[in-house]
Chains A and B, each alone.
Chain A
Amino acid sequence: MKVENFSFTYAGALKPSLRGINLPIMQNKITALIGPSGCGKSTLLRSMNRIHDLYPGNKYEGKIELLNLETGEFENILEIKKENDFIRLRQNVGMIFQKPTPFPMSIFDNVAYGLKIMGIKNKSELADRVENALKGAALWKEVHDRLNKSAMGLSGGQQQRLCIARAVAVKPEVLLFDEPTSALDPISTGAIEELIVELKKDVSIAIVTHNMQQASRISDYTAFMYLGDLVEYDETETIFLNPKIKQTEDYITGRFG
């Protein structure tokens, strides 16, 4: 996936919240978006599956291109208009939110939800894919004997892994994580981080985080954003050990932000 000369303006806002962003999301790598609150990193992430479209009046400019793994061609997702194409986009580009968002239904139905939207009806295929997704999210052992129980009964960390399983189940190409651990305790955070690193074998990952240790621990590339601009993008090691721009260094060393 790559973002090219992308600008974004919220409905009713005079100035764009993002200006001329250029950023690649490398295949099977983890790209971290860091920066102080209000810098636009979540806005950028939420553009990548056009979840902004839930609210009318927002304006996109530029391109966000998604690689079609079958044809090898790039498709500009900002040009999508048809309902069916949106469904396809969101199944290709999954999203995990800050707060766990289990649906008020059973654990099984949560994971099967996206699959049913894809049109999978066959019971045994559903069961297989749910099991695989839960195994992929390292949750199977904890829940395999209570798949029909409500997902609301799980702990926060388990709920977040359930949301990951739900997103993984539809086999996306890209997964977007919007501060996925900021509502969790350190142990659950560790489990989620491990899981994210594990997941990059199969998907490309973009993660917004306020936690710089987290960015340095798990990401391959890091983008530092400030007030709607992308200030610096490079390999994570370079950003953290040898940033080229003074602003990046100041933020990383904790002098502002």
Chain B
Amino acid sequence: MRLVVNKIVLGLSVFAALLGLVFLGWILVTLFLKGMTAMNLSLFTHDLVDNGLRNLIVGQFVLAGLASLIGIPLGMVAGIYLREYGYGSRFAELIRDLSDIMMSAPSIVIGAFVYAVAVIPFGGPSGFAGAFALAIMMIPIVINTTDSMLSLVPKELREAGIALGASKYKVIFDIVIRAAKVGIMTGILLSFARIIGETAPLLFTSETSNYFTLDLTESFPSMTVSIYNLANEPEESARDLAWAASLILTVLVLVINLTGRYVTRNKHK
């Protein structure tokens, strides 16, 4: 009897796993087939006005990069506070809970919030507003990774540092962070991968632009928002371009994710 139950459970879980993989494969294959029809080198050398994607790729990276410049330091410092200084205090617990809630906040809500505080007051969409929205998405993720990676550092290591006469901040910066470095870096990379594929926070903050620009005070080219727009256009060629952009974006996210995993795996060698 037990053997039968075991077989049934095993069968069901294998089936569920396969089902998940089938959909993943299906997505990738569709993306690849549809994306490849419009794929050619000129996509990378022309801007959207000339049916290329160059300005969008650069724009997406600029937005995500600027968001990282704000989000990574803030998130890391907050994570260090939560684990090393505020640990156990009510205030820190509150911040940690809020940050966890923020992590699951619907991204469109964040977009709407930034629209209200950074788009309307400044008279229109801008690259800064877009990066700001992405940074808001990124901060809780970085806080969470920093916090949990620091929690993995054994307390004996901190005590050993203190026992050598080091002050608390020296122990944290010389020893604890170094011990958690790989984990934190992986987390940061994954959070970057997460925000670079976001649409909703950018939809009405940076919007998008058909032209190449690095001026962050204007509407700023965004690949994800442009995919959304292109997909809504009637012409076949616009939709093909959207497929190609989707494929490029997916490959980018995949590469960043795999890099993150590769780094973690090497740590354990």
Mark A residues whose CB is within 8 Å of B: 49, 51, 54, 83, 86-88, 90-91, 94-95, 97-99, 101, 103-105, 113-114, 117-118, 163, 166-167, 170
Contact = CB atoms under 8 A, between A and B. Distances in A.
A117 B158 contact: no
A101 B165 contact: no
A104 B164 contact: no
5 contacts: A103-B157, A103-B174, A104-B175, A105-B178, A167-B164
B-side binding surface: helix, strand, loop or mixed?
helix
Given A49-B163, A98-B156, 12 more contacts: A51-B159, A91-B164, A91-B165, A94-B164, A97-B160, A103-B160, A104-B181, A113-B161, A113-B164, A113-B174, A114-B165, A170-B164
B165 A54 contact: no
Given A103-B175, A103-B178, A118 B160 contact: no
Interface string B179-201: 10100000000000000000000
Given A97-B159, A101-B160, A103-B160, A118 B165 contact: yes
Nearest to B166: A117
Nearest to A98: B156
Nearest to B178: A104
A-side binding surface: helix, strand, loop or mixed?
helix
Given A114-B165, A117-B165, A54 B156 contact: no
B181 to A, nearest CB: 8
Nearest to B170: A117
A115 to B, nearest CB: 9
Contacts of B158: 54
Interface size classification for chain B? 20 to 34
A51 B157 contact: no
A94 B181 CA distance: 27
Nearest to A163: B160
Nearest to A92: B165
Given A87-B167, A113-B166, A117-B166, A103 B161 contact: yes
A154 B190 CA distance: 31
A90 B160 contact: no
A139 B167 CA distance: 27
B65 to A, nearest CB: 29
B256 to A, nearest CB: 25
Contact of A104 (B156, B168, B179): B179
